[in-house]
Every structure is written in C-alpha cells, then in structure tokens.
Amino acid sequence: MEPLIFKAVRQNPEIVLDSKQNIFRIWGRSAPEDAAEFYKPVLDWLTLYFQNPNSTTVLQFKYFYYNTSSSKMILQILKILSSEFEKGVAISIEWLYPQDDEDLLEAGQEYSEIAEIPFELVPY
C-alpha cells in the first residue's frame, strides 16, 4: 500500500501514514479551511489500510493547535480505529502534548474516553 504523506503547510499538519515503515502520525497545527476535505484522504487511506493491517498499529497525534472542525475529523479517525479495535486489530494511540499545555492534555483525556482503545498520553 502506498504511503500517504502530507507536509505541514501553514494551517495543515504533517501527516505520515506509511504501513511499510510502520509510521502513522499526524503532527502540527490543524486549521484547514475545509477540514472534511483535507482529512478525507486520511479517512479513505485508513479504511483501505485496515483491510490488511500490520500486526500492530500505533497512531501518534502531536497537535500544538487544532480548530473545531479538525476536532470533528479527529473523532472520525478515532471512530475508524475503535471499530477496528473492536474487531481484534492491535491498535493504540499516542497523544503527545507539551507538558505545560493543560488544554491539550485534557483534550487527550477526553479523546481517550471516547475512543475506548489503548491510549497513551505522552508529555514532551
């Protein structure tokens, strides 16, 4: 499966979804004009990937800012992951946040409750 790679550009995060290298990450600032359009390739790629996933999948989120529409897309990503986890696929999330950022820590805690999959909060 071909990797999906978006370089970080102003309002868009870096996205690397590479099953061959076993790298799955979304890092940076997420405030695209149309979050649904921006994240659609991510949702499509993940759906296709889970037809034949790696033995383990660890998705890293490392936002320093995201807007409300991006939050909705994060929930869509977590919905796909949760569905696959329920089917027995080995999936976990790493939510990386600046250790002095209470808002991003709380956001990670809230997402971890929603996702119901292994979720690690990692300060940096």
Interatomic CA distance for residues 99 and 60, integer angstroms: 16
Domain span including residue 20: 4-123
Using alpha carbons only, what angle is made at residue 33 by residues 29 and 37, rounded to the nearest 5 degrees? 95
**Of 53, 74, 48, nearest in space to 62 by CA:** 74
Beta bridge partners of residue 25, listed in sequence order: 16, 60
Mind listing the pLDDT tens digit for each residue in 74-107? 999 999 999 999 999 999 999 999 999 999 999 9
Mind listing the pLDDT tens digit for each residue in 18-60? 999 999 999 999 999 999 999 999 999 999 999 999 999 999 9
**Of 68, 12, 57, 20, nearest in space to 38 by CA:** 12
Radius of gyration of the chain (CA): 13
Task: Report the domain count for the chain.
Answer: 1
Q: How far is CA 87 from CA 15, 53, 75, 117, in A?
A: 25, 12, 18, 12
